[in-house]
Structure 1
Amino acid sequence: MVQAYILIQTEVGRAAAVAEAIAAIPGVALAEDVTGPYDCIARVEAETVDELGKLVIAKIQEVEGITRTLTCTVVHI
């Protein structure tokens, strides 16, 4: 199982709507609007790194109102 945090910047005033839309996507464990340099943070899970990439590019980045994402993969050292 591959897990990652997706840091998301949105258009002004769209953080809550973006977080709600992302939370409904299969593979998204949690999505919340936050304060700070990013507007939303999502925790996602997939079976492989390739599936994780497809989730981010094909599903999350397609949500209206997103301007930029940064994917931070969870590692266990």
Structure 2
Amino acid sequence: MVQAYILILTEVGRAADVVPEIAAIDGVVRAEDVTGPYDVVVRAEATDIDALGQLVVARIQGLDGISRTLTCPIVNL
């Protein structure tokens, strides 16, 4: 199992709109709108790194209002 934090920039004023849409996606553990340099922080999980990439590219980046994402895989040492 691979887990990651996904930092998301949205179009102006769209963070509150996209959070429920993101939260409904399979593999998303939690989605919250935040303040700071990013608008939304997501914790997600997938079976492997390829599935995680598909989750981000095909499901999250495809939503209206998403400008940019930064995926930060969690490293368990």
- Smaller-chain TM-score range? over 0.9
Unmatched segments (≥5 aa) in structure 1 = none
Q: How far apart in 1 are the matches of 2:18 and 2:32?
A: 9
TM-score, L = length of structure 1:
0.98
Structure-1 residue corresponding to 2:46: 46
Distance 1:19 1:7 in 2: 12
The aligned counterpart of 2:24 is 24
Q: Distance in 2 between matches of 1:63 and 1:71?
A: 16
Q: 2: distance between equivalents of 1:12 and 1:49?
A: 30
- After superposition, the CA RMSD in angstroms is 0.5
Match of 2:63?
Answer: 63
Q: Which segments of structure 1 move beyond 6 Å, counting only runs of 4 or more? A: none
